[in-house]
Amino acid sequence: MTISTTATATRRRYMSSPRLATSLLFLMNGFVMGSWAPKIPVFAARLGLSEGELGLMILTFGIGSILAMPFTGVLIAKFGTARVVKIVAVIFTPTLLLVSLAGTIPLSVLALFVFGALMAAMDVAMNGNAVAVEKAERRAIMSSCHAFWSLGGLLGAGLGGLLISAIGPIGHALAVTAIGIVLLAIAFPRILGDAPEESVRRQKVRLPMTPLPWLIGIMALFSMIPEGAVLDWSAVYLRDELGVTLAASGFGYAAFQLTMTIMRFAGDHVRDRFGAVNTVRFCAAASVIGLLCSGLATSMPLVIIGFAITGAGISNLVPVAFSAAGNLPGLQPGIGLSVTTMLGYSGILAAPSLIGFIAEHIGFAPIFTALSLLHVIVFFMAPMARYAERDRQS
């Protein structure tokens, strides 16, 4: 066995420093986002917001996120993911504290806009750095990175209520900020440097005019719309249409999130073993089955099983799409990824509102059933996932 072969085998057996750094960035971002969820009722009560007013306030978070994504792609194209993610992560770390301290509606609108914009900017940059690590190590890591984001979200949401009760909203925000600083301090020295070549830096940066990155963005969009629907509406569906208790209404999303996190940790091995195209086909097919089960079943256990299958299916669709977007031929670094994240996350940020409006007229069961058609389309778009394999081509 040659030295290079031995090194490759060692990298596959253990988590390298660049991979650890990227994983910690995802964990930190997910932890801060998860910590925001239990603060929402406190935030609304402090400002005296109705449900409709709270929805409009949260919309500013989404607007900030969507606007920041293409701009971040431009920065990555000029300076590389490592430099951008370090700067953005440092600025993002105290933003939850700023939201907690904002005492008026105008200041809260501004704080939420900045919070959403910096969250999205860090998201694009850390996904770009994950693509760079995949190229350097010639193996898939994107799914496990997204698993760390999911794990961070679970920890943030799970601990948030306890911390708010114990030390108050400001104390909670300070604790989240401190944890974020610790995670970044461990990650920063290990982040893989990837400054673009001078020839690339001098190129004019603009949104792509070719259809391929937009098609992959649509694949991410169709993958994430059902995810947003389960996140926002599964508990309402179980409580209002199946008559489960309030305590049990969260079981559907819990099952969904659990299987998604587990399968994301396994996703890199699946992709390395069977390839990106087959991974997308398998995951899309599983999600179709899960959504149909959730929409057509009439008992709580079957609906929860359906959501669990859906979580396993959706788990690796977006990570593969992001890897493909970051490896498109003839496209500047970061640009394809920013387009994909912008379209993909709009599925989580915007689609659930429309779904809620439609559900008032037809109910959620037909909606979850119909959402399976989106993943039928993703199944047939799977050949585009082949670009995710360019990171390991010599």
Spell out the alpha helix ranges (H) of the chain: 3-13, 17-36, 40-47, 51-79, 81-92, 95-101, 105-137, 142-187, 198-202, 211-236, 251-274, 276-296, 300-314, 317-325, 335-349, 351-362, 364-380
Burial of 161 (0-12, 13-18, 19+ CB in 10 A): middle
pLDDT tops 90 at residue 128: no
Domain 204-394 has CATH 1.20.1250.20: yes
Instruction: Provide the token pair at 35.
Output: 């910590």
Residues of the chain with pLDDT > 90, as a percent, come to 35
**Quick one: which of 138, 134, 144 has its CA closest to 323?**
134
- Matching fold, domains 16-196 and 204-394: yes
**Quick one: which of 71, 83, 106, 91 has its CA closest to 29?**
91
CATH number of the domain located at residue range(s) 16-196 in this protein: 1.20.1250.20
* Rounded distance between C-alpha atoms, residue 122 and residue 55, angstroms: 24
pLDDT tops 60 at residue 135: yes
Place of tokens 């760390």: 148
pLDDT tens string 160-194: 888 888 999 999 999 999 999 999 999 999 999 87
pLDDT tops 80 at residue 350: no
* Rounded distance between C-alpha atoms, residue 23 and residue 15, angstroms: 10
Helix (H, G, I), strand (E, B) or coil at 48: coil
Average pLDDT, the chain: 84
pLDDT tens string 223-254: 989 988 887 778 778 888 888 776 677 788 77
Q: Do residues 172 and 51 touch, judged by C-beta distance below 8 A?
A: no
Task: Quote the DSSP letter at residue 206.
Answer: -
* Rounded distance between C-alpha atoms, residue 185 and residue 181, angstroms: 6
* Rounded distance between C-alpha atoms, residue 154 and residue 230, angstroms: 16
Helix (H, G, I), strand (E, B) or coil at 235: helix
- Containing H/E element for 138? none
Task: Quote the DSSP letter at residue 242.
Answer: S
pLDDT tops 50 at residue 7: no
The pTM of this model reads: 0.79
- The domain locations on the chain are 16-196, 204-394
- Amino acid at residue number 11: R
The arithmetic mean of pLDDT across residues 139-168, rounded, is: 86
pLDDT tops 70 at residue 5: no
For 111, 223, 321, 342, 360, the CA distances from 345, given in Å and listed in that order, are 20, 10, 12, 6, 24
Place of tokens 């399976």: 372
* Rounded distance between C-alpha atoms, residue 360 and residue 257, angstroms: 25
Instruction: Provide the token pair at 183.
Output: 């995670």
Residues 6+ apart with CB under 8 A from 220: 317, 318, 321, 322, 325, 340, 341, 343, 344, 347
pLDDT tops 50 at residue 66: yes
pLDDT tops 80 at residue 4: no
